[in-house]
A and B are shown apart, each in its own frame.
Chain A
Amino acid sequence: MITKRIIPCLDVKNGRVVKGVNFEGLNDVSDPVALAKHYSDIGADELVFYDITASAEGRKLFTDILCRVAETIFIPLTVGGGINTVDDFERVLKCGADKVSVNSGAIRNPNLIREAAKRYGNQCVVLSADVKRVNGQFRVFARGGRDDTGMEAIAWIRKGVENGAGEVVLNSIDTDGVKNGFDLEMLDAVCNAVNVPVIASGGAGCADHFTQLFQTLPKVDAGLAASIFHFGEVKIPDLKKQLSERGIPMRLL
């Protein structure tokens, strides 16, 4: 049986992981390579690297780091941030990324998903959507959740999957940072709309939220979080052990 995945997300700016991180035995807490290795060693099932740099120099630095991460860890690596063209796919895949996540780039260029899926296969293309409730509707937001696109989210995600996205990361802006649990209602709507893996993001505050996620919504494939892992509020080995004890299939080291 396929296991549920636990995925830490690392935001990288100018070559450093943002959000102060504190780990025992990790001297440089903002070194992306060291942190990636740490997560891989403790049993993360996949890593997401998000490039939040705006400058060209920052982007160059990011790709250099990606190559070093891919040399060091041997679990699936997803890369997002600043992916606007098929050339951007090429740039990060060449560094050793396995999957590429598109968000605003797919909103600006409706053909991006289709072109990338055709060239690299659906399994390589991840649609990441930032979604927020507006007037009782699930709405897609662009530019890191800043701009309301006016588009209804479920239809947008369904279309992305039809165009070739092989996975969906759903980030609920409503629950993000609140630490009160994942957005089960929004996730349920997405799970019922598509038949590709759905990764839940936004809202996890403790281990129980992951149990609740996988028990309530068996169709969700993975839980993604950043700060609770970085700050050590939830420790991945403990989390996976707890989930496994509650009957949720987990890869244990």
Chain B
Amino acid sequence: MVMIAIVDYGVGNLFSLKSSFASIGEEAVVTGDRAELQRADKIILPGVGAFGDAAEKLKQTGLGSAVIEEAQKGKPLLGICLGMQLLFERSFEYGRHDGLALIPGEVRPISDVIPSGLKVPHIGWNALRFTQASPLFKYISEGDCVYFVHSFYGANCAEHTIAVAEYGAVLTAAVQNGNVYGTQFHPEKSGPVGLNILRAFCREV
């Protein structure tokens, strides 16, 4: 069994995420302690809300640099939703903010690429199309639906994109750069498919 650390840097509720690991028989701790991130086998970077606030909190708490350090040592890291966006170099959500730069690319409003008239945020269940093979998808199939809630997307990251979803445009759904993974959707809210993605992160990555 592996020890998963869910990074708690003061944004959002991590209750469902922790419970989802429990439901697949994996142990996860919610922690804001640097030493605990070092001890963990794998790290989850969650996040809801605004990029700027989250990036600032990661900086203030020193947890951002701890996550970078662990990822650079080769420890598997999974960013979820805003947590995925934070892995990129920068975001253009209300201004310009620096991310953790673990994956080349940037974060831009989906309204830049989807036709006007389509609702923003992109909210609901959407099908995944795989663009590259990844161990994260070991237990799921192309066309499986997952749950999205977002108004911004990962741009200029095609080289590291492993799955996309169609919403008036092709939107980045999941990314991978070596041991660093990210999902724009919420696996912890995506039913059995989502749990299978978390299971693959625990066992196959």
Task: Give the B-binding residues of A (Cβ under 8 A).
Answer: 1-3, 5, 40, 45, 67, 70-72, 74-76, 93-96, 98, 121-123, 166-167, 195-197, 221, 251, 253
Q: How far is the CA of A5 from the CA of B148 in the complex (A)?
A: 13
Instruction: Report the contact-size class of chain B (Cβ under 8 Å from the partner).
Output: 20 to 34
Which of chain B's residues 76-135 have a Cβ closer than 8 Å to chain A?
117, 119-127
Which of chain B's residues 142-185 have a Cβ closer than 8 Å to chain A?
145, 147-149, 166-167
Residues of chain B lying within 8 A (CB to CB) of residue A96: 13, 15-16, 19
Taking a contact as CB atoms closer than 8 A, the residue among A70, A76, A167 that contacts B19 in the complex is: A70
- Among B16, B148, B190, chain A packs the most CB atoms within 10 A around the CB of B16
Q: A71, B19: Cβ atoms under 8 Å?
A: yes
Q: How far is the CB of A73 from chain B (nearest CB, A)?
A: 8
Q: How far is the CA of A121 from the CA of B23 in the complex (A)?
A: 28
Q: B123, A98: Cβ atoms under 8 Å?
A: no
Taking a contact as CB atoms closer than 8 A, the residue among B16, B117, B124 that contacts A74 in the complex is: B16
Taking a contact as CB atoms closer than 8 A, the residue among A2, A5, A74, A196 that contacts B189 in the complex is: A74
Task: Give the A-binding residues of B (Cβ under 8 A).
Answer: 13, 15-16, 19-20, 22-23, 48-49, 117, 119-127, 145, 147-149, 166-167, 188-192, 194-195
Q: How far is the CA of A95 from the CA of B13 in the complex (A)?
A: 9
Residues of chain A lying within 8 A (CB to CB) of residue B149: 123
Given A1-B166, A2-B167, A74-B188, A93 contacting B13 (CB threshold 8 A)? yes
9 cross-chain pairs, A with B, having the tightest CB-CB distances, nearest first: A251-B145, A71-B19, A251-B125, A2-B124, A3-B125, A96-B15, A123-B149, A96-B16, A2-B126
Smallest Cβ-Cβ distance to A73: which chain B residue: B191
Q: A2, B49: Cβ atoms under 8 Å?
A: no
Q: How far is the CA of A57 from the CA of B194 in the complex (A)?
A: 35
Q: How far is the CB of A115 from chain B (nearest CB, A)?
A: 15
Residues of chain B lying within 8 A (CB to CB) of residue A93: 13
Q: How far is the CB of A161 from chain B (nearest CB, A)?
A: 11
Smallest Cβ-Cβ distance to B143: which chain A residue: A252
Q: B23, A2: Cβ atoms under 8 Å?
A: no
Q: A166, B13: Cβ atoms under 8 Å?
A: no
Q: A5, B127: Cβ atoms under 8 Å?
A: no
Q: How far is the CA of A45 from the CA of B126 in the complex (A)?
A: 11
Q: A253, B192: Cβ atoms under 8 Å?
A: yes
Q: B13, A94: Cβ atoms under 8 Å?
A: yes
Smallest Cβ-Cβ distance to B13: which chain A residue: A93
Residues of chain A lying within 8 A (CB to CB) of residue B195: 74
Q: B119, A123: Cβ atoms under 8 Å?
A: no
Q: How far is the CA of A23 from the CA of B168 in the complex (A)?
A: 39
Can you identify 22 A-B contacts, CB atoms within 8 angstroms? A1-B166, A1-B167, A3-B126, A5-B124, A45-B125, A71-B15, A71-B23, A72-B23, A74-B16, A74-B188, A74-B190, A74-B191, A74-B194, A75-B190, A94-B13, A96-B15, A98-B189, A121-B48, A166-B121, A166-B123, A221-B119, A221-B124
Q: A70, B166: Cβ atoms under 8 Å?
A: no
Q: A76, B22: Cβ atoms under 8 Å?
A: no
Residues of chain A lying within 8 A (CB to CB) of residue B20: 74
Q: How far is the CB of B87 from chain A (nearest CB, A)?
A: 20
Smallest Cβ-Cβ distance to A71: which chain B residue: B19
Residues of chain B lying within 8 A (CB to CB) of residue A1: 126-127, 166-167
Q: A123, B121: Cβ atoms under 8 Å?
A: yes
Q: How far is the CB of B10 from chain A (nearest CB, A)?
A: 13
Residues of chain A lying within 8 A (CB to CB) of residue B124: 2-3, 5, 45, 197, 221
Q: How far is the CB of B141 from chain A (nearest CB, A)?
A: 12
